[in-house]
Structure 1
Amino acid sequence: MLLHNKLSKEELKKQLENENFSRKTFSFYRYVIIDNPQEFRDQLYQKWFELDCKGRIYIAREGINAQMSVPEHKLDDFFLFLNSLIELQDMPIKWAVEDDGKSFYKLIVKLRPKIVADGLDDNAYDVTNVGNHLSPIEFHEQISRLDTIVVDMRNHYESEIGHFENAICPDADTFREEIDIVVDDLKDKKDQKVLLYCTGGIRCEKASAYLKHHGFEDVNQLHGGIIAYAQEIKQLGLDSKFRGKNFVFDERLGESINNEVIAKCHQCGATCDTHTNCANDDCHLLFIQCEECRDHYQGCCTDECTEIIQLPLEERKLLRSKFHDKYSKSQIYRKRIRPKLKGIKN
């Protein structure tokens, strides 16, 4: 059998829409040595394709990072297979807070150098010397103490739609950029208690070890991340100290934690926390856009992109080469969207 998808995006989405059964969305990760990543990857793809799983899974020698959507009636078979693999036995699962069953439309299992693109040299510090893991309720109880520093270890586009109360949310585009900002900004507070959090906990594993390497004495991390926190706080009937929406890396682009909207449309400043990708595929930038601006700009981030999507295909191809030769996507974001965002925030 083929060990990769051959159908178009449109065909896959149509298949998903026509399904007459329910799906469950969840994520998991584990740092574990995988001796033959390619063989392991192919084994997973074959079995998960048979089970009609969707999702995005990264495999590296250092472990696995997975976000998945599985037919509800096949969950038992899925977990039976998971537990049949020594590397994945008794895997902690983080279930989606909001789940419409449409989180993924295809199965992607990729080999990567690392399961999280952190840009760090793992040989330069002890990656196993991680911070103290706090349960969601322990994190909840400690987060408001005056002697603690709470740090959001996610990128700016994640934290702007939702974050914990009183958290430091670095204005960073990448994890590598952010971790250096955190170390530098807190260099005079290395003796204070630091509480780190991220979506599911995986980034905090590396971040906590990196902070300890740089002399931070009391480093703690939210075990299971925002997802685990939201689930446990809801079960206990407590008021969430996470405000807004949790950004997720699938078709949903977010799940509300406390039904509060704390972000603004990047184009008009209206209250909104709906992310979208620019409808100009040669741009495809991720930004926040309200319904009115979506109609006005036809789903694009700027007037320029709105004009481009009206052009004939051949003209767009000519512009495409110039567009990508001149700027990277991160440069374009800083030039076009970030100034607006900063203006709205201020």
Structure 2
Amino acid sequence: MELYNRVNREVLKQKLQLSDEKRVTISFYQYWNLNNPQLFRDHLYLKFSEVGVYGRIYVAKEGINAQISVPENNLEQFKQYLAEITFLNGIRLNVAVDDDGKSFYKLKIKVKEKILADGLNDESFDVTNKGKHLSAEEFNQLTDQDDTVLVDMRNHYETEVGHFENAICPDVDTFRDSLPIVEEILEGQKDKNLVMYCTGGIRCEKASAYFKHKGFENVYQLEGGIIKYAQDISKKGLKNKFKGKNFVFDERLGERISEEIISKCHQCGKPCDDHTNCKNEACNLLFLQCEECAEKYENCCSKECQEVIHLSEEKQKELRKQQDSGIRIFSKGRFKKSSSGLEKIK
């Protein structure tokens, strides 16, 4: 058996969309010392392929970070596979809140330097000295106190569509960018209750240890992140302090946590919290687009990109070769609205 997918992604996407198989979207992570990440990666690929797991998994010497979907009929067998791995036995699985089963279309497992790109030198501080985990009830209570400061450890495009009440939301593109900026924002507040949250908890595992190292006295993190919080408040009938959508890094690009729409279409300004990628693959800009603009621009960010998608495939491939292959994300500081859609500020 090959340990990598060889099928064209468009074929796989179409197959997923046409499938009526019920799937469950799950995320989990665990920091653990792995002596041979490549061997562990190959073992996971074989086992997970057997039960039809799709998704994106990062394996490194420091552990595992996984966002996946599992066929509902194979969920118990999948859990049994995890139980057979010592450090994953009993691991908390964050089950998606707003799930159509179309989150991933193939299995991709990569060996990385780190399971989370944080830019930190882990040898410079005790990464195991983490902040106290808060349940949904404890989180609601502590964030009501005047001596508490609440910080969103996610990126600006995530917080734009949804965040907790009264949270500090740094204008950053990456997690590694957020750490020094948050430290600067919180200067002089090291004696306050510092409460952090992120999507599923992994960013706060590292951030809470970092800020304790930096001298913050009372550091807390929301257990299981936004995903577990949403599940818990629903089960227990608690007040929902999260407004809007939770951005997720899969085909869904978001799951609704509350009915509020707190963001606007980047093209026309109407209330909108639906992320999309520009249909012009040479652009691939991640931005917010309402249904009317999606129809007007044919799922593109601008008229220029709209023209590109009508070119021959050969010409489009040439354009893609000329473009930076990095991720492009809409930011108000880098793009402006114009009559032709979104225009990059030069």
TM bin (shorter chain):
over 0.9
2:278 aligned residue: 278
2:27 aligned residue: 27
2: distance between equivalents of 1:69 and 1:271?
A: 30
2:305 aligned residue: 305
Q: 2:55, 2:67 within 8 Å by CA — same for their partners in 1?
A: yes
Distance verdict in 2 for CA 1:22–1:240, change over 3 Å: same
Q: 1:266, 1:289 within 8 Å by CA — same for their partners in 2?
A: yes
Q: 1:34, 1:87 within 8 Å by CA — same for their partners in 2?
A: no
Higher normalized helix content (fraction of residues): 1
Q: What's the secondary structure of 1:158's corresponding residue?
A: helix
Q: 1:248, 1:255 within 8 Å by CA — same for their partners in 2?
A: yes
Letter of the 2:266 partner, please give it. Answer: H
Deviations 1:315-334 (A, max 9, x none): 4455445443xx9655x845
1:57 aligned residue: 57
Question: Which residues of 2 match residues 93-112 of structure 1 at below 5 A?
Answer: 93-112=93-112
Cα displacement (A) at 1:73: 1.1
Cα displacement (A) at 1:75: 1.1
2: distance between equivalents of 1:105 and 1:290?
A: 25
2: distance between equivalents of 1:65 and 1:241?
A: 27
TM-score, normalised with respect to structure 2: 0.92
Deviations 1:35-59 (A, max 9, x none): 1111110011011111111111111
Letter of the 1:114 partner, please give it. Answer: K
Deviations 1:2-49 (A, max 9, x none): 001111122212332343431111111100111111111001101111
Cα displacement (A) at 1:307: 2.6
Cα displacement (A) at 1:223: 0.9
Q: 2:137, 2:238 within 8 Å by CA — same for their partners in 1?
A: no
Letter of the 2:104 partner, please give it. Answer: F
Q: What's the secondary structure of 2:283's corresponding residue?
A: coil
Cα displacement (A) at 1:335: 8.0
Cα displacement (A) at 1:250: 0.8
1:116 matched to 2:102: no
Distance verdict in 2 for CA 1:84–1:322, change over 3 Å: closer
2:143 aligned residue: 143
Letter of the 1:105 partner, please give it. Answer: Y
Unaligned runs of 5+ in 1: none
Letter of the 1:52 partner, please give it. Answer: G
2:172 aligned residue: 172
Q: 2:193, 2:219 within 8 Å by CA — same for their partners in 1?
A: yes
1: distance between equivalents of 2:207 and 2:51?
A: 35
Deviations 1:225-254 (A, max 9, x none): 001110111111122000001111111111
Deviates more, 1:9-18 or 1:59-68: 9-18
Q: What's the secondary structure of 2:48's corresponding residue?
A: helix
Cα displacement (A) at 1:338: 4.3
Cα displacement (A) at 1:314: 4.6
Letter of the 2:27 partner, please give it. Answer: S
1:212 aligned residue: 212
Q: What's the secondary structure of 2:296's corresponding residue?
A: helix
2:160 aligned residue: 160
Cα displacement (A) at 1:308: 2.5
TM-score, normalised with respect to structure 1: 0.92
Question: Which residues of 2 match residues 1-346 of structure 1 at below 5 A?
Answer: 1-324=1-324, 329=327, 333-334=330-331, 338-340=335-337
1: distance between equivalents of 2:317 and 2:232?
A: 50
Deviations 1:76-120 (A, max 9, x none): 111111101112111111111111111111111111111111122
1: distance between equivalents of 2:88 and 2:320?
A: 43
Q: What's the secondary structure of 1:70's corresponding residue?
A: strand
Q: 2:287, 2:330 within 8 Å by CA — same for their partners in 1?
A: no
CA RMSD, 1 decimal: 2.1
2: distance between equivalents of 1:93 and 1:49?
A: 19
Distance verdict in 2 for CA 1:162–1:83, change over 3 Å: same
Q: 1:266, 1:337 within 8 Å by CA — same for their partners in 2?
A: no
Identity %, equivalent residues: 55
2: distance between equivalents of 1:306 and 1:316?
A: 12
Deviations 1:118-164 (A, max 9, x none): 12221222211111111121001111221111000000010110000
Q: 1:150, 1:196 within 8 Å by CA — same for their partners in 2?
A: yes
Letter of the 1:57 partner, please give it. Answer: I
Q: 1:283, 1:329 within 8 Å by CA — same for their partners in 2?
A: no
2: distance between equivalents of 1:22 and 1:91?
A: 23
2: distance between equivalents of 1:275 and 1:266?
A: 10
Letter of the 2:195 partner, please give it. Answer: L
Q: 2:198, 2:225 within 8 Å by CA — same for their partners in 1?
A: yes
Distance verdict in 2 for CA 1:32–1:258, change over 3 Å: same
Letter of the 1:211 partner, please give it. Answer: F
Letter of the 2:87 partner, please give it. Answer: E
Q: What's the secondary structure of 1:141's corresponding residue?
A: helix
Unaligned runs of 5+ in 2: none
